[in-house]
């Protein structure tokens, strides 16, 4: 009874043909296994850098949709700090505590009545 043995040998690609000829001459079965592929360090760095750039772009895009920051210091304010789409991204609008409330609002136009002023001021944005 003959026992089958297998031996794993690493051969340089230049010497592969000579090793196959030697195996045929010795009547030995030779099986060639391809070299396992892996990512080199430069590819890993480039891929992770690309993923980080895409994540940063997506986060910035989402922030742009939320608009700028409004800091409302009036006592009647519902929220002290909030995001508002009408304020451009990257801008902060501070509403002072002594700013009067608009009496009515139509779209982007508001009439502000000041108690101490002789006339009303009409503001359009």
Give CA–CA dist 72/106, Å, rounded: 21
Give CA–CA dist 51/121, Å, rounded: 52
Q: Are strands 68-72 and 92-95 parallel, antiparallel or unpaired?
A: parallel
For the chain, give every domain's residue range.
Answer: 67-125
Residues 2-32 pLDDT 10s: 677 777 777 887 888 888 888 889 888 888 8
Give CA–CA dist 125/123, Å, rounded: 7
Residues 61-84 pLDDT 10s: 888 888 889 998 888 888 999 998
Per DSSP, what are the bridge partners of residue 69? 83, 92
């Amino acid at each position: 009874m003959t026992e089958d043995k297998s031996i794993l040998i690493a051969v340089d690609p230049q010497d592969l043909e000579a090793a196959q000829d030697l195996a045929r001459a010795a009547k030995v079965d030779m099986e060639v296994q391809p070299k396992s592929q892996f990512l080199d360090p430069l590819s890993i760095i480039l891929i992770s850098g690309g993923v980080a750039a895409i994540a940063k772009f997506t986060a910035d895009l989402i922030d742009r949709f939320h608009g700028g920051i409004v800091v409302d210091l009036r006592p009647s304010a519902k929220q002290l700090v909030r995001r508002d789409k009408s304020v451009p991204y990257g801008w902060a609008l501070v509403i002072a505590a002594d700013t009067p409330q608009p009496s009515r609002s139509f779209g982007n136009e508001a009439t502000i009545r000041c108690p101490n002023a002789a006339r009303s001021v009409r503001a359009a944005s």
